[in-house]
């Protein structure tokens, strides 16, 4: 269990009212800072850096979320936090010495008078202003005024130092000297610092981590860059460190990319003026899980498809499919990437929850999963379904073995169960099947808590690479072309914002079309590797998108259909099969009105209108029988039954 953070910025939003409507300056900013840690925040103008600093200082209040410092909520300014502003913020009727002494005498009034005077003198000397101590602000330069502000902040020895570009007005020599003095003081007194800067070299010199903010509006943390340079630091040692230019390159690349996105957003907004006029809601928050098949969401942002259709989208990276479901229930998410059965799961109110009618107009991806078993089983002779059954027969009945999947309404669950049952292994009797969030799969496999799992990428490739698992079978070999992820929106949302729903469907259709060709997969793997999305090395992401796909058995797959982004029509037959599996595994009773429920849940008319307006080839809802790998045939034209 991790210790509480010294400072926590807890999912902060900041919204400002304007004559044109609400302006979202910050969106879902979450950050934890340790005691003594130095954090720099960088980003282009308008990304909310100073707004965030003011909220932490207690000079402004978050619209949502909050600030917790040493277990206490920050509501007002306090002497435990001192701010050095961009402007000088000095009292013009006080001398330099009196400006610094003002805070010392108020905060450190328990100290003897002479000791307080000594503290003031020490800090004036530190910033090179002893000779100007009795001058008024009007009698000194702008750079000198800024040094007074720095001395005033440091003199009361705050627990948290907040700096808003404090060295911007200083000459290079003074700036360098003060930067090194600031580091020395913060290290000596274990002062935590949060600093806003535009200077990437300054950020690398001072920081333990650099927080990179995306463009506003709805600015958020785009990436966090750890700076593993040894301390104490000096400028010359830092720039000669072998990792310095790699780190600097990451910062510059991020800032350049944000500049590009700003230009693209402006271009697409101009192109979307006509379309935007009919859209009821333009600012959307979409939930996704960091898996390789979230690619359409990432591409729609990065390639401007959302902006093209008049949408200003914030992607919310969620920790689990349950978090996606809760976000939809709470209305925190406008729409989300969902596992295939989640719209039906929520609409039926499975799991003792009140029914939440959900609509889906789009299949985002097909195939893309695999069943991975523990490497320990492989070493004991387990290589397929039949040898797994033999292995299970040798276990003692004291502890029932367990397999993992991501959500009870997922294809992972249904295909894993069908696979096991086809080999004579009865789920819920011979072994348990439990839900595990995708990022926790490998840890559970390594610890022996589960024998294996069914999950999407990159968690199968990671298990093979770390030599803790092997791929027994890919789900495309269980049902070729099965629906995997779908777009989900609430029914009331779809009815309230029909033009927004259509625009969202069109944007994601174009993103899927971009993801489909193999020529784009290397680019997409690199894009998904960013901290905003999967935050993983692209060598773990590429195999599931473009191959080759190492099974961990000495064999590899190289099949383009492993993960597909085509075939986007939402099919009645697929959702009906999902319903039969929910009934088969006793998740729900067969609803009497299943046909009307499914046809209302599937927004086929929205999909058809979207492809018509995009001039994509027309498709129809297939009612052809579905044949699975074991010869089981599902005929969707027959009345609902457990099959």
- The pLDDT tens digits of the residues spanning 224-248 come to 888 988 888 888 888 888 778 778 8
Q: What is the DSSP string of 171-227?
A: -HHHHHHHHHHHHHHHHHHT-EEEEE-S-HHHHHHH-SEEEEEPPSSSB-EEEEEE-
CA atoms of 414 and 576, how far apart (whole Å): 13
Domain 7-253: give its CATH superfamily.
Answer: P-loop containing nucleotide triphosphate hydrolases (3.40.50.300)
Q: Is 377 helix (H, G, I), strand (E, B) or coil?
A: helix
Predicted local confidence at residue 305, as pLDDT: 96
**Residues 423-473: tens digit of each pLDDT:** 999 999 999 999 888 888 998 899 888 999 999 999 999 999 999 999 999
b/e per residue 91-100 (b: at least 16 CB within 10 A): eeeebbbbbb
CA atoms of 436 and 452, how far apart (whole Å): 11
Average pLDDT over residues 158-179: 80
Predicted local confidence at residue 89, as pLDDT: 77
Structure tokens at 367: 């195939």
Quick check: 29 and 62 in contact, CB under 8 A? no
What sign results for the dihedral spanned by CA atoms 181, 186, 187, 188?
Answer: positive
Structure tokens at 580: 């039969």
* CA-to-CA dists, residue 120 to 88, 100, 343, angstroms: 18, 6, 65
CATH of 262-367+482-546+562-626, one of 3.40.50.720, 3.50.30.10, 3.40.190.10, 3.30.505.10: 3.40.190.10
Strand 432-435, strand 81-84: pairing: unpaired
List every span in the chain annotated with CATH 3.40.50.300. Answer: 7-253
Taking every pair of C-alpha atoms in the chain, what is the biggest distance, in angstroms?
Answer: 94
Predicted local confidence at residue 274, as pLDDT: 40
User: Which residues, in sequence order, are bridge partners of residue 41?
Assistant: 196, 211
Cα 120 to its chain centre, rounded Å, is: 45
Predicted local confidence at residue 541, as pLDDT: 94
Predicted local confidence at residue 1, as pLDDT: 36
Quick check: 509 and 614 in contact, CB under 8 A? yes
| Stretch (H or E) spanning 275 | helix 273-276
Q: What is the mean pLDDT of the chain?
A: 89
Q: Which residue has the tokens 């934890």?
A: 32
Q: End-to-end distance of the chain based on CA atoms, in angstroms?
A: 45
Residue 486 backbone dihedrals phi, psi, to 5 degrees: -130, 165
| Burial grade of 12 (CB within 10 A; 0-12, 13-18, 19 or more) | buried
> Is the predicted pLDDT of residue 273 greater than 50, yes or no?
no
Quick check: 417 and 430 in contact, CB under 8 A? no
Residue 37 backbone dihedrals phi, psi, to 5 degrees: -85, 140
CA atoms of 284 and 343, how far apart (whole Å): 19
Average pLDDT over residues 407-420: 96
Residue 639 — pLDDT band, cuts 50, 70, 90? Answer: low
Quick check: 300 and 507 in contact, CB under 8 A? yes
Quick check: 458 and 452 in contact, CB under 8 A? no
Q: Higher model confidence: residue 440 or residue 603?
A: 603
Strand 335-339, strand 283-288: pairing: parallel
Comparing 81-95, 282-296, 395-409, the range with the smallest average pLDDT is 81-95
List every span in the chain annotated with CATH 3.40.190.10. Answer: 262-367+482-546+562-626, 369-477
Between vectors from CA 529 to CA 246 and to CA 527, what angle results, nearest 5°?
100
Structure tokens at 520: 């784009």
Predicted local confidence at residue 277, as pLDDT: 54
Predicted local confidence at residue 269, as pLDDT: 54
Q: Is 73 helix (H, G, I), strand (E, B) or coil?
A: strand
Average pLDDT over residues 173-187: 80
CATH code reported for the domain at 369-477: 3.40.190.10
Residue 633 backbone dihedrals phi, psi, to 5 degrees: -115, 130
Quick check: 193 and 38 in contact, CB under 8 A? yes
Q: Higher model confidence: residue 536 or residue 278?
A: 536
Average pLDDT over residues 273-302: 86
CA atoms of 307 and 518, how far apart (whole Å): 25
Predicted local confidence at residue 264, as pLDDT: 64
Predicted local confidence at residue 157, as pLDDT: 79
CA atoms of 285 and 498, how far apart (whole Å): 16
Comparing 52-56, 224-228, 240-244, 379-383, the range with the smallest average pLDDT is 240-244
CA atoms of 403 and 435, how far apart (whole Å): 9
Predicted local confidence at residue 143, as pLDDT: 75
What sign results for the dihedral spanned by CA atoms 106, 107, 111, 116?
Answer: negative
Residue 215 backbone dihedrals phi, psi, to 5 degrees: -65, 150
* CA-to-CA dists, residue 71 to 59, 186, 234, 489, 628, angstroms: 19, 21, 34, 37, 55
User: Which residues, in sequence order, are bridge partners of residue 432?
Assistant: 402
**Residues 503-515: tens digit of each pLDDT:** 999 999 999 999 9
Residue 640 — pLDDT band, cuts 50, 70, 90? Answer: low
CA atoms of 563 and 418, how far apart (whole Å): 21
Q: Helices (H), strands (E): how many in the chain? A: 25, 26
Q: Higher model confidence: residue 143 or residue 455?
A: 455
**Residues 308-343: tens digit of each pLDDT:** 999 999 999 888 898 899 899 888 899 999 999 999
Average pLDDT over residues 495-504: 96
Average pLDDT over residues 5-21: 88
Task: Please state whether the predicted TM-score (pTM) of the whole model is above 0.75.
Answer: no
Q: Which residue has the tokens 């903010």?
A: 213
């Amino acid at each position: 269990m991790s210790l509480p953070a010294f400072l926590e910025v807890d999912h902060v939003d900041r919204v400002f009212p304007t004559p044109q409507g609400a302006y979202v300056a910050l969106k879902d900013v979450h950050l934890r800072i340790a005691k003594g840690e130095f954090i720099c925040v960088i980003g282009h103008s308008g990304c909310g850096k100073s707004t965030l600093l003011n909220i932490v200082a207690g000079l402004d209040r978050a619209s949502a979320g909050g600030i917790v410092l040493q277990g206490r909520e920050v509501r007002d300014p306090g002497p435990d936090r001192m701010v050095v502003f961009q402007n000088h913020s000095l009292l013009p009727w006080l001398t330099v010495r009196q400006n610094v002494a003002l805070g010392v005498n108020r905060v450190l009034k328990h100290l003897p008078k002479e000791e307080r005077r000594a503290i003031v003198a020490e800090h004036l000397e530190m910033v090179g202003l002893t000779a100007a101590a009795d001058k008024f602000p009007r009698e000194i330069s702008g750079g000198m005024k800024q040094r007074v502000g720095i001395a005033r902040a440091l003199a009361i020895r705050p627990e948290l130092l907040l700096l808003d570009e404090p060295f911007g007005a200083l000459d290079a020599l003074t700036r360098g000297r003060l930067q090194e003095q600031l580091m020395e003081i913060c290290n000596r007194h274990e002062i935590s610092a949060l600093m806003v800067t535009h200077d990437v070299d300054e950020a690398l010199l001072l920081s333990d981590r650099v927080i990179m903010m995306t463009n506003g509006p709805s600015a958020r943390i785009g990436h966090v860059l750890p700076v593993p340079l040894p301390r104490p630091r000096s400028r010359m040692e830092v720039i000669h460190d072998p990792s310095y230019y790699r780190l600097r390159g990451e910062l510059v690349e991020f800032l350049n990319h944000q500049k590009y996105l700003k230009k693209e957003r402006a271009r697409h907004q101009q192109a979307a003026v006509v379309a935007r006029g009919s859209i009821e809601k333009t600012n959307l928050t979409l939930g996704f899980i960091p898996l390789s098949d979230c690619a359409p969401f990432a591409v729609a942002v990065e390639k401007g498809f959302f902006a093209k259709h008049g949408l200003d989208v914030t992607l919310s990276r969620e920790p689990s499919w349950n978090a996606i479901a809760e976000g939809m229930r709470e209305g925190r998410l406008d729409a989300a990437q969902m596992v295939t059965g989640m719209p039906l799961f929520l609409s039926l109110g499975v799991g003792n929850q009140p029914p939440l009618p959900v609509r889906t107009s789009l299949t985002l991806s097909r195939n893309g999963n695999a069943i991975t078993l523990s490497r320990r089983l492989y070493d004991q002779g387990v290589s397929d379904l039949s040898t797994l059954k033999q292995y299970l027969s040798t276990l003692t009945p004291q502890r029932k073995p367990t397999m993992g999947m991501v959500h009870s309404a997922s294809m992972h669950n249904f295909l894993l169960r069908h696979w096991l049952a086809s080999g004579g292994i009865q789920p819920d009797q011979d072994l348990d099947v439990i839900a595990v969030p995708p990022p926790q799969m490998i840890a559970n496999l390594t610890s022996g808590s589960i024998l294996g799992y069914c999950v999407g990428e990159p968690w199968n490739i990671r298990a093979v690479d770390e030599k803790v698992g092997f791929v027994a079978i890919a789900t495309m070999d269980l049902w070729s072309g099965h629906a995997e992820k779908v777009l989900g929106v609430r029914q009331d949302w779809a009815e309230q914002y029909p033009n927004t729903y259509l625009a969202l469907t069109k944007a994601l259709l174009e993103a899927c079309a971009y993801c489909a060709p193999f020529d784009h997969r290397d680019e997409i793997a690199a894009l998904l590797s960013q901290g905003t999305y999967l935050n993983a090395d692209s060598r773990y992401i590429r195999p599931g998108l473009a191959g080759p796909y190492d099974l961990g058995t000495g064999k590899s797959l190289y099949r383009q259909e492993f993960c597909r982004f085509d075939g986007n029509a939402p099919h009645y037959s697929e959702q009906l099969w999902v319903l039969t599996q929910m009934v088969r595994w006793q998740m729900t009773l067969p609803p009497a009105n299943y046909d009307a429920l499914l046809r209302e849940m599937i927004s086929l008319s929205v999909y058809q209108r979207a492809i018509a307006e995009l001039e994509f080839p027309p498709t129809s809802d297939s009612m052809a029988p579905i044949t699975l790998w074991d010869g089981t045939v599902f005929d969707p034209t027959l009345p609902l039954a457990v099959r």
